[in-house]
Chains A and B, each alone.
Chain A
């Protein structure tokens, strides 16, 4: 699946899939959820007008903007499409390594990406399978408008 799975965070799903293992016995039952989940991801990509290169570019630019204010783990940054009750959201999970020392004047609108309540000293390298939205206190969960349908 290559970039597609990277893009859509397919690993978590593939682990569950009955066909991913190389074991001898494969469970052929209850494949409905497999079909539904795989199809949703494929269609999200089909429907989005964004080329994979564009998404890579967007990812790089996001990193560039955020690193102006906080030190992040660019390698671990994840940018995924997810469905939430009929809307598609672009979800970014951005592990923060350290908050940068910034002037109050500079920490304007862009400071919204970090939680003021602190605890950002230690990296919040959340497990990749954990959805950032579920954890409201996740410091760098960034949700954009579902604009890709």
Chain B
């Protein structure tokens, strides 16, 4: 957290104070993370936004709705602790509390895993609505990882959401699918706001006009920006270890997700500087800059 002291407002505490804000009587916010296209970083975004919010002290429940293709447990490093899953809760084989898997480090973070041996038809919108409303009572944030596609799985994921995070890459097919998703979110009555995370950004390519830049993407999709996450090898390493990158202090992508979590929480945080490092030396320089807290 030491690297996040750039915040322009930052009047009070900079270190996370778990449970400090979690005793609010109001119902939790339900945020769905979606993209249309697969493989753009939805699950990574869910894990990091959820963990990032928990690091800020909020009570967070992460929900994996990708029935049959569960992955959020892997990214969180919780795959060995799963006993029950979301379908067990819905089919009343266990209580919600029994199915929630507590995070390894953050006591205020838990995961409701998807079922791996079932298919998407095991879940429907009505059950999902009921379940999410139950979770809303227990947490400040319910972060729902949506499956790829625009079919029933997507509908289940968004049915009880108040807001949506759309994830895309600065690449044509991803943006096209994101546009479809935005159309569906606009038509959805309960989703009040939606914002975009541009993931896998390669600043060097953008600088050379070999990739659409952030403004191009925002202009084409006509959507507000929530965050820019650079392509970062550290993501693969953090996934290997089952630790979301948001907890890795020196990482660019981690910094991006820390900023995103604070924006979700309502803070006004400046966006990442895109004149970002490409080579090793640049990366070293950047590390020093982070230390001086002047990059972002």
User: Which of A's residues lie within 8 Å of B, judged by CB?
Assistant: 29-33, 35-36, 38-40, 42-43, 46-47, 86
Contacts and interface: CB of A to CB of B under 8 A. Distances in A.
Contacts of A33: 209
B220 A43 contact: yes
A47 B220 CA distance: 12
Given A46-B176, A47-B183, A40 B220 contact: yes
A30 B179 CA distance: 24
Given A38-B172, A39-B175, A32 B180 contact: no
B216 interface: yes
Most buried by B among A30, A32, A38: A32
B211 A32 contact: yes
B208 interface: yes
A8 to B, nearest CB: 15
Contacts of A47: 179, 183
Contacts of B172: 35, 38-39, 42
12 contacts: A29-B208, A29-B209, A29-B210, A31-B210, A32-B212, A35-B171, A35-B172, A38-B172, A39-B176, A42-B172, A43-B176, A47-B183
Interface in B174-198: 175-176, 179-180, 183
Contacts of B73: none
Contacts of A42: 172, 176
Nearest to A149: B222
Interface residues of B, number: 18
B213 interface: yes
Contact of B210 (A30, A43, A46): A30
Given A46-B176, A47-B179, A39 B220 contact: yes
A33 B206 CA distance: 11
B176 A32 contact: no
Interface in B133-179: 171-172, 175-176, 179
B212 A43 contact: no
Given A40-B220, A47-B183, A30 B209 contact: yes
Given A35-B211, A36-B220, A86-B222, 13 more contacts: A29-B210, A31-B211, A32-B209, A32-B212, A33-B209, A35-B171, A35-B172, A36-B216, A39-B176, A39-B220, A40-B220, A47-B179, A86-B219
A38 B172 CA distance: 8
Contacts of A31: 209-211
B222 to A, nearest CB: 8
A114 to B, nearest CB: 36
B292 to A, nearest CB: 32
A29 B208 CA distance: 8
Contact of B212 (A29, A35, A86): A35
Contacts of B210: 29-32
A30 B176 CA distance: 20
5 shortest interchain CB distances as A-B pairs: A32-B209, A30-B209, A39-B172, A36-B216, A35-B212
A32 B213 contact: yes
Contacts of B176: 39, 42-43, 46
